[in-house]
Amino acid sequence: MNIPPQTLLIVDDDRANLESLERIFVREKVEVVTASDGKEALDLLRRRRVSVILTDLMMPGISGLDLLRASKTLSPETEVIMMTAFGTVETAVEAMKEGAWDFVTKPFKRIQIVKAVLRALDQQSLVLENQALKAELQDSRRDRSIIGNSLVMRQTLDMVRQVAPSNATVLLMGESGTGKELFARAVHNASNRAQRPFIAINCAALPESLLEAELFGHEKGSFTGATARRQGRFELADRGTLFLDEVGETSPAVQVKLLRVLQEGEFERVGGTQTLRVDARIVAATNKDLKAEVQAGRFREDLFYRLNVISLRLPALRERKDDVPLLVHYFLARYAEKNGKRITGVARDALDAMMGWSWPGNVRELENAMERAVVLCRGDTITVEDLPPHLREGEPERRAITVHIGTPLEEIERTVIRETLNATRGDKRLAAQLLGIATRTIYRKI
Q: Is the dihedral of CA 150, 153, 159, 165 positive or negative?
A: negative
Per-residue model confidence as pLDDT tens digits over 286-325: 998 999 999 999 999 999 999 999 999 999 999 998 889 8
* 137, pLDDT greater than 50: no
143 pLDDT band (50/70/90 cuts)? Answer: very low
Query: What pLDDT score does 393 carry?
Result: 66
Give dist(CA 12, CA 55) in Å, integer.
6
DSSP 79-106: EEEEEES---HHHHHHHHHTT-SEEEES
Per-residue model confidence as pLDDT tens digits over 190-245: 999 999 999 999 998 888 888 988 999 888 887 777 778 888 899 999 999 999 99
246 pLDDT band (50/70/90 cuts)? Answer: very high
Give dist(CA 177, CA 179) in Å, integer.
6
Query: What pLDDT score does 369 carry?
Result: 94
Provide the CA 364 distance to its chain's centre, in angstroms. Answer: 21
* 141, pLDDT greater than 50: no
Give dist(CA 196, CA 213) in Å, integer.
22
Question: 316: closest CA among 124, 179, 126?
Answer: 179
Per-residue model confidence as pLDDT tens digits over 12-23: 998 999 999 999
Query: What pLDDT score does 394 carry?
Result: 52
Say whether the peptide bond before residue 107 is cis (omega within 30 degrees of 0): yes
Per-residue model confidence as pLDDT tens digits over 104-124: 887 788 888 999 898 888 877
409-445 folds as Arc Repressor Mutant, subunit A (1.10.10)
- What would you measure as the largest C-alpha separation in the chain, in angstroms? 92
CB 239 within 8 A of CB 279: yes
Per-residue model confidence as pLDDT tens digits over 367-419: 999 999 999 999 889 999 999 988 876 544 445 666 666 677 877 888 888 88
76 pLDDT band (50/70/90 cuts)? Answer: confident
Q: What is the pTM of this model?
A: 0.57
Domain boundaries, the chain: 7-138, 151-315, 318-393, 409-445
Mean pLDDT of 35-61: 88
Identify the architecture of domain 7-138 in CATH. Answer: 3-Layer(aba) Sandwich (3.40)
Beta strands 266-267 and 276-277: pairing type?
A: antiparallel
CB 442 within 8 A of CB 428: yes
Mean pLDDT of 416-426: 75
Percent of the chain with pLDDT over 90: 40
CB 13 within 8 A of CB 27: no
Question: 319: closest CA among 370, 286, 363, 351?
Answer: 363
Query: What pLDDT score does 132 carry?
Result: 58
More confident residue, 185 or 130: 185
* 5, pLDDT greater than 80: no
Give dist(CA 373, CA 369) in Å, integer.
6
88 pLDDT band (50/70/90 cuts)? Answer: low
Please check whether the two domains, 318-393 and 409-445, share a CATH topology. no
Identify the architecture of domain 151-315 in CATH. Answer: 3-Layer(aba) Sandwich (3.40)
Give dist(CA 69, CA 73) in Å, integer.
7
Question: Who contacts 231 (Cβ-Cβ below 8 Å, separation ≥6)?
Answer: 217
CATH fit for domain 318-393, picks 3.30.499.10, 3.40.50.880, 1.10.8.60, 3.90.1200.10: 1.10.8.60
